[in-house]
Amino acid sequence: MRQLAEIEKRINSENARPKKRYISPATREEVYAIYYDGLRRRIEDRGTRDFPEAGGRKLYGELTMNVTIDANGRVVEADIVRPSASRLLDQRAVAIVYAAAPFGPFSDAMRRQADQIVVTSRFRFTREDGLETTLSTNGSR
């Protein structure tokens, strides 16, 4: 009886967690591709407009980040999984992601499959004063 109670407790705990969907280059579903494209454009626009600087000098580099988005389009978490050479650039990139949100609610099709999506993206801050984001094969799950 105690063992059954423990199993039930574990199942209830597991069911209470948000269902996450990881978006990677292998993700082909159109519903996710459309959502990702809008998310990418908002982040790129924000990053290009508010290009990271320190002491009046622009910060350039590349990093990889996991961004977790909830069903309402809010950023739940933004983790650097492969940092740039500049810790300050990494911090500014995370701030750009939060500032670009919210990204819009999930469609009904997305909500049926996930409570949250986790997008692994590479961020490149280039000398052309732009931010380019791409789905990354490195660090995706």
> Is the C-alpha dihedral spanning 124, 129, 131, 132 positive or negative?
negative
Confidence of residue 138 (pLDDT cuts 50, 70, 90): very low
Q: Kindly report, residue by residue over 4-33, the tens digit of the pLDDT.
A: 778 777 766 665 567 877 776 566 677 788
pLDDT value, residue 22: 76
Task: Give the residue with greater pLDDT, 16 vs 107.
Answer: 107
Interatomic CA distance for residues 64 and 81, integer angstroms: 6
pLDDT value, residue 139: 38
- Give pTM, 2 decimals: 0.77
* Among the listed residues 15, 33, 16, the one whose alpha carbon sits nearest the alpha carbon of residue 24: 33
68, 116 contact by CB (below 8 A): yes
- What backbone phi and psi angles, to 5 degrees, belong to 75? -75, 120
Domain ranges of the chain: 19-135
Q: In CATH, what is the architecture of 19-135?
A: 2-Layer Sandwich (3.30)
Strands 75-82 and 57-58: unpaired
Can you give the length of the chain in residues?
141
Task: Give the residue with greater pLDDT, 111 vs 29.
Answer: 111
pLDDT value, residue 137: 42
Q: Please report how the helices 87-100 and 30-49 are oriented relative to each other, as an axis angle in degrees rounded to 10.
A: 120
pLDDT value, residue 1: 76
> Is the C-alpha dihedral spanning 92, 95, 97, 99 positive or negative?
negative
Interatomic CA distance for residues 17 and 45, integer angstroms: 33
Question: Which helix or strand (DSSP H or E) is residue 6 part of?
Answer: helix 2-16
The 10 Å Cβ neighbour count of residue 92 is 19
Q: Kindly report, residue by residue over 32-85, the tens digit of the pLDDT.
A: 888 888 898 999 999 989 989 888 899 999 999 999 999 999 999 999 999 999
